[in-house]
Chain A
Amino acid sequence: MSLRDLSIGTKLILAITVVIFGISSASNIIIYTYQKRSLDEQILERSRTISELLIQIEDHKLISRVAAEFTEVTGYKLKQTSLDPVNQKNAPDDFEKRVMQMFQRGNATESYAVVTDGDGKRYFRYMRALRTKEQCISCHPGYAVGDLRGSISVVAPYEDIAAATRKNLIYILATVQLLTISIIAVLYYLSRKIVSKPLKELIKEVEGSAKEIQKGEEVKDIPVRSQDEIGMLANAFNNLRKSLSESFKRKNEAIESFVYSISHDLKAPLRSIEGFSTALLEDYGDKLEGDGKHYLDRVIASAQKMGVLIDELLEYSRIGRINLSRGDVNVAEMVALALEDNIYEINKKNAKIKIPENLPVIKNAEKQRIYQIFTNLISNALKYNDKEVPEIEIGYRDEGDHYLFYVRDNGIGFDMRYHDKIFEIFQRLHREDEYRGTGVGLAMVKKIVETYGGKIWAESKPGEGSTFYFTLPKEVKR
């Protein structure tokens, strides 16, 4: 998985973490440097002040007392030293010797450095040059004014002070880090709330919508919850879906009106074929020999079949495109009409029909369409039935905002493998000489049910009959 595949929330958090840690590290370095420098300056200032003070004092005894006092308070060691010490106690160490040699060579009055001593500890060393003044000469003969007489040496225990400062620094840095982590946590929470969560919701809704489109269900707009980019995305999706469905609808309409006009134009020559064949048979039938009459019958039968096919195709193309008059449709009446339409087959096959006493009313529906649903399903139930006594049962169930109807038979059934195929136009499972049909009926039923916002499906097993289920809204919308 590459960085690119991480979720937007994770990417944001990563970016924020990098930036904030960068900033906090930089500020830590700045704080540390500043603290260190101010420590050096503090020690230097103290050393300088005390040295200056000691130089001013003439009373030697007082000098010792002040020095002792200062050492007690600050922990700094004070020492007077000379390259030519009277008292061996005042003999210079290596550092002091080096600095004083430097003082001797030039005019410098002070020098300081952080020095690691023999014991491995670091010390802040400060040295102030003592130059011979006029009043000194009386007590210290042999010196000229300005000659280096010795130095005041201040030794500050750098390590301890630095350690104390460092402790301080650790607290500061810890606070900064803690602050950093809490800022990241807050930003993480906010980014989830502001970006990741609404985006995930949007994705879920778009996917749900896509599924509905795939199923051919009516799709509602996904909600636009904000006016920000995510809201705009939701809006853009809605617009895309709308224009897609509109262009799909337009194309569909164009195809259907094309089918309509083609079928329409096919009708006229067909009528001629059938008409003149019939005329030929009527007027000259007795002059035809052998199979002549039979062939003519075949021409007429085929023309008639094509006529039925074209009529069905025309009717199919009209569903949903042509609005018939709408109103309350009593399903019981339509079932009765459909049964009457199939009465010849029912009587011939001696079929048993079971209908519930009450059937509902569908509001804002077209009579013709409801009738077409039932007449097609009933005619199929009779047609695809080889039982001694064909049985057809019609029923329904109230399911809230819609009714679930079913038409059950004890016919030949079908393999559920072909479930989707039987609802497709011109798709048949049987040869023409087995069962006559055009393959429009079920497609027509499906189209009616779906334009009314319902669903249709079937359950069947070869040899064990079929049940066709379909739903119709209690009130058809449009």
Chain B
Amino acid sequence: MMNMVRAIDILLVEDNQDDIELTMRAFKKNNLGNNVHIARDGAEALEFLKQVEKRDAPHPGLILLDLKLPKVDGIEVLKYIKSREILKRIPVVMLTTSKNDRDIKTCYDLGANSYIVKPISFKDFIETIKNIQLYWIVTNQPPVVG
């Protein structure tokens, strides 16, 4: 029943093509590549989320959100998600290079569920993605959509 509503597992909001490819590689290694939707900037993410609200797009089980995005900032996207009735319960994991304490605080204040600094090392990055997947997709019990 739950698996039916969760048509896609992850919405990945990321502007860096390299990071997208590396993240996708990590997902693929964990057999998850097919269930990821990619938004290349904040505006694209908002457009997709509005479609989700209208049920024109599949409801994601997890949102991986970068902070520094072209057009619309990650913070704005986060604000939008957490202010919408249909979207606000989707776990949002901030995945960014910023270790800035103010950024971290702001994100948690706005209701981000997790904040992860992208590791430099690819090995660590793969590990991190694996952990995110293991925790948020497997361990964590998301609310029922509807």
Contacts and interface: CB of A to CB of B under 8 A. Distances in A.
Given A268-B97, A307-B121, 11 more contacts: A264-B97, A268-B18, A271-B120, A272-B18, A275-B18, A276-B21, A279-B22, A279-B25, A307-B120, A314-B99, A322-B101
A304 B97 contact: no
A276 B18 contact: yes
A274 B120 contact: yes
A272 B122 CA distance: 8
Contacts of B21: 275-276
Interface string B106-146: 00000000000011111101000000000000000000000
Interface string B8-22: 000000001011011
29 contacts: A264-B98, A264-B99, A267-B97, A267-B120, A268-B16, A268-B97, A269-B18, A270-B120, A271-B18, A271-B119, A271-B122, A271-B125, A272-B18, A272-B22, A274-B122, A275-B22, A275-B25, A275-B122, A276-B18, A276-B21, A278-B123, A279-B22, A279-B122, A304-B121, A307-B120, A307-B121, A311-B120, A318-B99, A322-B101
Interface residues of A, number: 19
Given A268-B16, A271-B18, A271-B19, A278 B98 contact: no
Nearest to A270: B120
By secondary structure, the A interface counts as helix
Nearest to B23: A275
B123 to A, nearest CB: 7
A426 B51 CA distance: 52
Contacts of A274: 120-122
A307 B123 CA distance: 12
Interface in A249-278: 264, 267-272, 274-276, 278
Contacts of A270: 120
A310 interface: yes
Contacts of A310: 120
B121 to A, nearest CB: 6
A311 to B, nearest CB: 7
Contact of B122 (A269, A278, A314, A322): A278
A433 B16 CA distance: 36
A275 B99 contact: no
A276 B18 CA distance: 9
A319 to B, nearest CB: 13
Nearest to A324: B101
